Each structure stands twice: as C-alpha cells, then as structure tokens.
Amino acid sequence: MSTDQRRDERTGRLLGAGLDLFARRGYAATTITDVCRAAGVAPVQFYDSFASRDDLLERLYDEVAATTLAAVVAAIAASPAELRARVGAGVTAFCDSLLDDPRRARILSVEVVGVSGAIEVRRRQALRAFAELLVSEFLALEADTTDRQRADRDRLSVVAMALVGGVNEAVVDWLLRDDGRPREVLTRALTDLVVASAGLHAGDGR
C-alpha cells in the first residue's frame, strides 16, 4: 500500500476502535492509548489522523449524524405523500439507524454531551438539521398559502426542535432500558407524537 493508503487504513481502525470503546466504556474512561491498543496502532501514529481524542469523537459523531440523517431523508423520499406515512418512515429509519448498532446511538446521544464547546456546536448543528427537515415536511404536506406557511415556519421550528429533542431522548431511554420490548412500540409511539404535534390529523393527508 502507498503511504496514504496505510494512513487511511490506520484511520479506519482507529475510528472503529473509538466507536467500540467510547460506546462500551464511555468516552471519559477511554484514553488515546486504549484506542491505539485496540486498533493495533502505535500511539505516535494516532496524531497522523486526529489532532486529539476530542477530534476522534467529533469525527465519529459527524459520521453517525450524517448517515442517520441520510437514512431518514431516503426513507421519507420513498414513502407516500401523506403525513403519517412519511413521519412513520422517517421515525423508523432514525430508530433503525441507531438501534441496529447501539454503539451509534451512544455516540450520537450520550457520549458527546458536555465534552467540549466545539463538539456542542456540532451537536446543535445536527439537531437543527433534523428539525429543519421536519419543518420542511410539515410545510410541504400542508395545503396552505405561502403567507400562511411563512407564518407557520417560526412556530413549527420551535415545535420541530422540541420534537427532535424528545425523540432523541426517547431513543436513548429505550437503549439504556434494553428491556426487550418490540421496537415497533417505540416507533409507533414516536410517530403518533410527531403527527399530533404537527397540528394535523394523522389520517387527513394534509
């Protein structure tokens, strides 16, 4: 392999080790030495890929947030143009993207909280991206005038951020409880919540 290929391969191993250790042990309890040992990488080579342990966590967070958002967007795009169907598809994609590999849920919603100001900025950006997607869906499915939609956007932005935070916390609680309930219980309840909070009837197709 070329020098760049070897560096990329080491970076991949470090990301994999970080995902596993940060989720299993916790970010605060995991050192760079721990990550390097698990990845089979010399500690000095860690800094060829990452500036710091925080940088590794930030890269992991960005990857999980981006792929989760992409999964939600794709699921919504493939669903019928009806509120409940699209909300249900998006909620299910969000839950599946995280809970199919619980390590991803811990990185997205648990381990990054309170780590640093820089990571908090990234976390807020990701939450706003999910909230903006929700607002866009609400407005696209409303049969209202442009003026009404403009008036609704501010209200819906607040509602959407509250929903994103609530859905996120519900998924974290589901993950931490791990009591064997069918995941459909979670996705159905969250779909009901989002549909009701949109101020639209679940079955009227608006």
**Complete domains list, the chain, with CATH:** 1-50 (1.10.10.60), 52-197 (1.10.357.10)
Give CA torsion, residues 81, 148, 129, 68, to 10 deg: -20
Report pLDDT digits (tens) over 13-71.
999 999 999 999 999 999 999 999 999 999 999 999 999 999 999 999 999 999 999 99
Which one, of 199, 204, 74, 201, lies nearest residue 133 by Cα?
74
At 63, give phi and psi (nearest 5°): -65, -45
Q: Could you state, in chain order, the average pLDDT of each consecutive group of 10 residues for the chain (206 residues)? A: 87 97 96 97 95 96 96 95 92 96 95 92 94 87 57 81 94 90 96 82 39
Longest alpha-carbon distance in the chain: 61
Which one, of 25, 190, 165, 7, lies nearest residue 107 by Cα?
25
- The pTM of this model reads 0.87
Around Cβ 17, how many Cβ atoms within 10 Å? 20
Residue 72 in tokens? 């939600």
How far apart CA 77 and CA 15 sit, in angstroms, is 30
